[in-house]
Amino acid sequence: MEKRAKMSGVFVVLCFLSLIMMAGCAEKTVVPEQPVVPNEQALKEQALKEQALKEQALKEQALKEQALKEQALKEQALKEQALKEEELKKAKEEAVTPAVSSVDIEDIHFDLDKYNLSSEARATLEKLANWMRQHKDYYVLIEGNCDERGTNEYNLALGEHRADAAKRYLMDLGVDEIRIKTVSYGEERPLDPAHNGEAWAKNRRDHFVINITKK
């Protein structure tokens, strides 16, 4: 009986040891890890974030291009303004004409229905020719005029003869023909609008307009 009790105790011990060993083996069993699969909401948020970054990059690029365009337009405007100012300055310099006092050429006058030059007219033209020989950048416009008597056609023709007479005399004095222009106004531009002999004498004249030669 005592021997059976001992055998039972040994059996219990062995069973206990077997259970411990089985438990140890169970703890060593490795369970494979499952891959983490992102859920649909996370994917959507990531896509939205990437889209926002792209839109921000495009917006910054557009702003940069706009700034460059505005800068180019500003520089172009400044260049055009500088050119306009330079042209205006040049035009003002070229538009300078001699003062009347520096030339001091008076009108020359004619007798009734005549276009021949008097001694006083020749002296005036000689003074003008001398000035033009010294100032070769200028030309003269000779305006032939008449008094109010006679027809318009007659007075226009007479005014032309008077302007041509002064032109020929200037050419004889050495002024190049290309620097002399003529026009007839007939009776249309009276110096004195009165209707008497004194006014008519004033209006039978050649008037001289001096201008700088156009380049």
Strand, coil or helix: what is 114?
A: coil
| Tens-digit pLDDT profile for residues 6-43 | 566 666 666 666 666 665 555 555 556 655 556 888 88
| Tens-digit pLDDT profile for residues 159-210 | 999 999 999 999 999 999 999 999 999 999 999 999 999 999 999 999 999 9
Strand, coil or helix: what is 80?
A: helix
- Out of 36-45, 95-104, 111-120, pick the least confident: 95-104
| Tens-digit pLDDT profile for residues 50-88 | 999 989 999 899 998 998 988 888 888 888 878 877 876
Tokens linked to 191: 């110096």
Could you tell me the fold of the domain covering 106-212?
60s Ribosomal Protein L30; Chain: A; (3.30.1330)
- 175 Cβ contact list (under 8 Å, min separation 6): 129, 132, 133, 140
Structural element, H or E, at residue 83: helix 40-94
Which pLDDT value is given to residue 76?
86
d(CA 83, CA 65): 27
d(CA 151, CA 164): 20
Q: Is 98 left (phi over 0), alpha (psi -120 to 50) or beta?
A: beta
Structural element, H or E, at residue 205: strand 205-212
pTM for the model: 0.54
- Out of 95-109, 128-142, 200-214, pick the least confident: 95-109
